[in-house]
Structure 1
């Protein structure tokens, strides 16, 4: 008889992490806390330097980003593609610095440099009374963008737990201070319960989760494994699906948050059409600030045919 696998409960009690083996993680957390106290402009400079070092010395991730951007932006010249890859590393380096800000600072400190667009779209969706799924993407402002959003809306969030239990405790406790509930990414029952209570839940679908429960829908014109769970959840709950994005401004320290009109005729009953609509909504937001997307993720790892050549192949020699 097969033993049922049960997910290990989150241990959020800091007193359980006093053993010396956790000290390196505590040092890292302490460094994040200290860096979060620096002026935002200085944090951006340090983050850009981190991104530059990653671009130079992590060739595997650079290769993934180059492959993605070459495929998604064929209209750009080789030089423009290379510049976009480098800028993406800079943006994601800044994003690492912003994690500390999101976890250890008060979001209200930054609302004077934050602009919120389309809040009326969310209000209209919530008026339906069946909950709202905020359709997000993995932008470099992931943590801080969500943190700033909770200054103007009440929301819950779904997260993939960190592999390091202590880091997961720090992350989850920080998010619990911002959000009404922090749900595990696989807790669909909890998600449906929150939607039934007319809650707004942030849900990101734009990564490659393998071959299970997907269709291959175009993303930047490329067939990408896209989950069908978004349609299933919307069908079962009757919730509205509102595209949501957040970006760092280029000209000076500041942020923009966007709530767009809810997807129409969703779900349609056609999984491929629904996944295409979702991908189009995310793609539109990426094109707004393409360098601020997580291009280091292997979005096209799962290919339509198992015998197809690996999308990312072997790391190219320089």
Structure 2
């Protein structure tokens, strides 16, 4: 092995150890202190040129046309505050006790979570900055399986999988066969997943998202149909004044799935648009939501 590769591996290990140490430190500090520090750090990082800043501004201009550049800048800066803050708050979410997490998250459910006769259930999440704490909170109360996307860093991926599932959630990689997921649903175990990111054109359709064609997964419709499952949306949002989070579990989507995966995907985007309009700075705009474009439509990033 060359010296450069050895140095690279050493730096990678040191970086991983540093991340774990910092997250463990954040886990024992007061939540308000961590949140305020993360918010301030996010504002500082926004002042620097970066690809994520560019992506966020492109997304905001596409989804909210007609605003002034000052408005886009303010919205993107507030978003950076929330994003960076959410990374630091992972310390509490990944290493904090179940009791502490329950104290931080207020839950409002429009379904009976204790119903032993509930049908197979897909809990459909969306990528607001605090989605993770909502999933972890649910796993402290009831059994569940949760889909995750593999990270490029193997060590961090293993850490995230272990800590997210430490209260009993069964962690399932997104690429797992639909047969296994359907089996879990039919066995009575709810499955938590999100389908609002661009994962490529395979098993996706282009439907409007804030009026812009967006490559949208159709997996929710297929899984619901195969497992005869209800689809229950949920949103976790950051409460103002550093008061923690609120997890809202909505009523099951009516007449879902329909006979058209395209119509279903459009319905999901419409629901998401309504939730984003309540707190636009908390949605994950640093993701390249419009990475894939319809044939003949130029790229935007």
What's the TM-score, normalizing by structure 1?
0.86
After TM superposition, list the pairs within 5 Å mapping 1:1-318 onto structure 2: 20=10, 22-120=13-111, 122=113, 127-129=117-119, 131-187=120-176, 188-305=178-295, 307-312=296-301
Query: How many residue pairs were aligned?
Result: 291
1:121, distance to aligned residue in structure 2 (A): 5.6
How far apart are 1:122 and its partner, in Å?
Answer: 5.0
Q: Please tell me whether the aligned partners of residues 66 and 85 of structure 1 are also in contact (alpha carbons under 8 angstroms).
A: yes
Contact 1:176 1:182 in 2 (8 A): yes
Q: Give 5+ residue unaligned stretches, structure 1.
A: 1-18, 313-318
Q: Does structure 2 retain, via aligned residues, the 8 Å contact 1:121–1:261?
A: no
C-alpha separation between the residues in 2 aligned to 1:181 and 1:111? 20
Q: Which runs of 5+ in 2 are unaligned?
A: 1-8
- Pairwise CA RMSD: 1.9
TM-score, normalization: structure 2?
0.90
Tell me if structure 1 keeps the 8 A contact 2:56–2:285.
yes
Contact 1:134 1:202 in 2 (8 A): yes
Q: Distance in 1 between matches of 2:112 and 2:198?
A: 29
Contact 1:154 1:200 in 2 (8 A): yes
Could you tell me whether the CA contact under 8 Å between 2:43 and 2:80 is conserved in 1? yes
Partner Cα distance (2:256, 2:114) in 1: 18
> Does structure 2 retain, via aligned residues, the 8 Å contact 1:133–1:201?
yes
